[in-house]
Amino acid sequence: MKPIDLAVPGVQGLTPYVPGKPIGELERELGIRNIVKLASNENPLGPSPLALAAATRVLPELHLYPDGGGFELKDKLARKLGVTSDQITLGNGSNDVLELVARAFLSPDVSAVFSEHAFAVYPIVTQAAGARAVVAPAHSGTHGPQYGHDLKAMAEAIGPDTRVVFIANPNNPTGTYLGRAELANFLRALPGHVVAVVDEAYFEYVSEPDYPNALSWLPEITNLVVTRTFSKAYGLAGLRVGYAVSNPLIADLLNRVRQPFNVNAPALEAARAALDDDEHLARTAQLNEVGRALLMQELASCGFAAIPSVGNFITFDVGRAAGAIYEALLGEGVIVRPIANYGLPNHLRVTVGTAEENLFFLAALERVLSV
Ligand SMILES: *Cc1c(COP(=O)(O)O)cnc(C)c1O
């Protein structure tokens, strides 16, 4: 038998996640340096110096296994978030936690609901578990932000076999978000057989007054899992550390399928130290607000409709298949993200960079458009 025939049915039809193009790869292809990567929503300021120092301090002890229970990081997170340690599940990135949810709650006889244009990991973990994916249409733009999650459509997509609903708030790649009242109503109305995952990967970037902190609903909604990460605003994507906050009964289930040492020692230490650097986080958010406003304005003056974003990235409509512009930007040394795999073939997603990186991208875009 061919290997494909030996794989479980979910894996047979699976398309792997396509990450942003690595800088080293483009360097090798083009033989150029000074590449600007605005493709993976990384923090252009880098990690906090406190996090770097903490990670470095552990290096002489790399022969030791990390603390598999992540005691100190969980303890610090719990204090900061106003929850208890037994509510926290650490992951090798929040991606890991999403996978733990799928492993614990999804199987071939149940389904998971998520929105059109939602984060690509939801369909992957759903399908890998052999569960059925039910995709709710996104807002068309008449009753809510165009391309954003339509909670009414998502509620209608929930059936007797639904076990998990994935909600990205804000969503990547659209940058759209759900307001407090709207999301609270949706979560409170969920049937008891559904686990709700609210993915807050960009939580630290959002400043809208009606943007909810989903942790506030944990005391009243038992089947709620809130995921966050150190990869985005905390600038630690390379170390891979994220976490879920939930009811302790759910955390216990996630822990049963978790690898014993899923978060490495430098990651545990760096994340803990990063929590002390409020100033780095504030500078990160500030740089992002300014850069995002500039990019929105300049994309509009190029004639591109950009989706209003509350995150550290902007998705914009180039009015035709975006592949050629993506390729031409690569030739200019700028890596952005084509998102045809999200059902948005005419859009590109660009991460907000430093002031210099944003200008470099805009100048490259102008050159590309003028030929
Ligand atoms: C980036 C991202 C994540 C996961 O990132 P990790 O590095 O695995 O923590 C999760 N959800 C969304 C919506 C993201 O954009």
pLDDT tens string 179-197 = 999 999 999 999 999 999 9
Residue nearest to ligand 1 atom 1, measured at CA: 201
Kindly report the protein residue whose alpha carbon is nearest to atom 6 of ligand 1: 93
Give the pLDDT of residue 212.
98
> Quick one: 71 exposed, middle or buried, by C-beta within 10 A (0-12, 13-18, 19+)?
exposed
pLDDT tens-digit map of 309-348:
999 999 999 999 999 999 999 999 999 999 999 999 999 9
Nearest CA to ligand 1 atom 15: 172
Average pLDDT over residues 72-84: 98
Span 291-299, average pLDDT = 98
Q: Is the pLDDT of residue 47 over 90?
A: yes
Which residues are near ligand 1 (CB < 6 Å)? 41, 93-95, 119, 168, 172, 199, 201, 229, 231-232, 237, 242
Q: What is the whole-number distance in angstroms between the Cα of residue 254 and the centre of ligand 1?
A: 18
Task: Give domain limits for the chain.
Answer: 3-46+278-370, 50-274
pLDDT for the residue numbered 141: 87
Ligand 1 center from residue 229 Cα (angstroms): 7
Q: Compute the average pLDDT of residues 106-122.
A: 97
The per-residue pLDDT of the chain, averaged, comes to 97
Q: Is the pLDDT of residue 371 over 90?
A: no
Class of domain 3-46+278-370: alpha beta
Give the Cβ contact number of residue 318 at 10 Å: 21
Question: What is the distance in A from the centroid of ligand 1 to the CA of 331?
Answer: 28
37 has a pLDDT exceeding 90: yes
User: Lowest mean pLDDT: which of 202-206, 234-238, 287-291, 367-371?
Assistant: 367-371
Taking the C-alpha atoms of residue 153 and residue 147, their distance in angstroms, rounded to an integer, is 13
| Ligand 1 atom nearest to 95, measured from its CA | 8
Compute the average pLDDT of residues 351-368.
97
Model confidence band, residue 211 (pLDDT cutoffs 50, 70, 90) = very high
Average pLDDT on 129-147 reads 95
pLDDT of residue 330: 97
Q: Which pLDDT belongs to residue 16?
A: 87
% the chain with pLDDT above 70: 100
Choice from 231, 315, 341, 342 to test ligand 1 binding pocket (greatest atom count within 8 A of CB) = 231
Going by alpha carbons, the residue nearest to atom 11 of ligand 1 is 201
pLDDT of 26 higher than 90: yes
Q: Which residue has the higher pLDDT, 33 or 230?
A: 230
Mean pLDDT lowest among 12-26, 97-111, 216-230, 351-365: 12-26
C-alpha 300 – ligand 1 centre gap (Å): 27
**Which pLDDT belongs to residue 127?**
97
Distance 132 CA to ligand 1 centre (A): 22
Ligand 1 pocket, mutate which of 117, 166, 199 (most atoms under 8 A from CB): 199
Å from CA of 41 to ligand 1 middle = 9
Residue in 115, 232, 310, 312 to alter for ligand 1 test, most ligand atoms within 8 A of Cβ: 232
Distance 1 CA to ligand 1 centre (A): 36
* Top mutation candidate among 98, 100, 119 for ligand 1, by most atoms within 8 Å of CB: 119
CA 366 / ligand 1 centre spacing (Å): 30
Q: Which atom of ligand 1 lies closest to the CA of 96?
A: 8
Measured by CA distance, the residue closest to atom 2 of ligand 1 is 201
Please name the fold of domain 50-274.
Answer: Aspartate Aminotransferase; domain 2 (3.40.640)
pLDDT at 250: 98
Rounded to the nearest whole angstrom, what is the distance from the C-alpha of residue 269 to the centroid of ligand 1?
Answer: 20
Q: What is the mean pLDDT of residues 151-156?
A: 98
What is the reported pTM?
A: 0.97
Mutate to test the pocket of ligand 1, among 115, 121, 124, 352 (most ligand atoms within 8 A of CB): 121
122 CA → ligand 1 middle, Å: 11
Confidence of residue 18 (pLDDT cuts 50, 70, 90): confident
Distance 11 CA to ligand 1 centre (A): 22
